[in-house]
Amino acid sequence: MSGAYSMVNVPCLARDLVRHPRGSELATDLLRAAALGPAEFAALDELRIPADAPVRREALATRMSLQPRALQVLAATRDVASSIGLEAWTAAVDVLEAAPMGALADLVDMVRDEICDAAWSRADGLAVTSHTAALDVVADGVRAAYADGICADVAGPLGRPWRRWLVTTGQAPARIDATVSGVVEQLRAMTPDRLARGAQQLRDQRAAGWSWAAAMHDACWAVHLTGRERMTLVAQMHAVRTLLEGCSPGARPSPDATAAVIGAVHARVVRDVLTEDVFVALTTPFEAAAK
């Protein structure tokens, strides 16, 4: 994939969902999509899609393209800072924290091409599917959840077939692997004060010269090389839901608290192949919060 989201860089998606107003619902949708198999895709193929769906998708794509993304904000801030200095960065902090790294189009591509992998037959670098309608239903459901509150008038009808099918079938989210479930159980027991302690530990490590980004790069490659991308996606989406459940209405975890959780989940998934120093550094902030 060429977009900002993929199975390899799922921490980017987790970071953005924690900041999204419908992050928990989106994470649940992705978990339900990850649990779909051949029988479910065949059933989804039979659903009726609104006749104006293509027009709505195009209108939604146009509307959503106007939403700021973190890298665009960063580039614009750098340009302004060249003339007015530090004041530009101070003014941009809140926007940078809220702006997503990826766009809705990136998320839809990830859903169709990777999360719904069971809908595809792949060989010799080619991918073929006979479940085009089913993929549209799932993708439209994600579109509608993502855009609710921004342009629900356009997106709302797109998501109805998916929502009705979920109600009818009771489709359950993909289950987290037992080797990682302990992280989510620990997270469920954490108070905001304890999460803040973990965030402070992460900041202290950074101040001492440690790079969270470099450590996560190692963890992401370990996930890829061991073929545990789907396992990691499921674990991170469960963690996102649990992290958001612990927030008061309208509140969101701090970026550093989120980074502490994301790092711990990734490290636990590939505990057996990470070097000890990387594993310890990635899990120490979370463990500080768990104490």
Pairing of strands 120-123, 126-129: antiparallel
* pTM of this prediction exceeds 0.85: yes
pLDDT tens digits, 101-113: 788 999 999 999 9
Any idea which residue has 């200095």 for tokens?
Answer: 85
Q: Provide the 3-class DSSP secondary structure of residue 149.
A: coil
How many angstroms separate the CA atoms of 190 and 188, rounded?
A: 6
| Cα–Cα distance list, 241 to 9, 63, 138 (Å) | 18, 27, 19
Which is more confidently placed, 275 or 63?
275
pLDDT of residue 63: 87
Of 108, 106, 88, which is closest to residue 96 (Cα–Cα)?
Answer: 88
- CA 272, 278, 283 angle in degrees (round to 5)? 85
pLDDT of residue 177: 96
Q: What is the SS3 string spanning 8-45? A: CCHHHHHHHHHHCCCHHHHHHHHHHHHCCCHHHHHHHC
pLDDT tens digits, 188-247: 999 999 999 999 999 999 999 999 999 999 999 999 999 999 999 999 999 999 999 988
**Token pair in block for residue 29:** 């949708």
**Alpha helices per DSSP H over the chain:** 10-19, 23-34, 38-44, 53-64, 70-84, 86-98, 104-110, 132-147, 152-169, 181-188, 192-207, 212-225, 229-245, 255-269, 276-290
Q: How confident is the model at residue 152 (pLDDT cuts 50, 70, 90)?
A: confident
Compute how many other C-beta atoms are within 10 angstroms of the C-beta atom of residue 253. 22
pLDDT higher than 90, residue 17: yes
pLDDT tens digits, 52-86: 999 999 999 988 877 765 444 444 444 444 555 54
pLDDT higher than 90, residue 92: no
pLDDT of residue 250: 76
Average pLDDT, the chain: 89
pLDDT tens digits, 121-149: 998 888 899 999 999 999 999 999 999 98
How many angstroms separate the CA atoms of 193 and 288, rounded?
A: 11
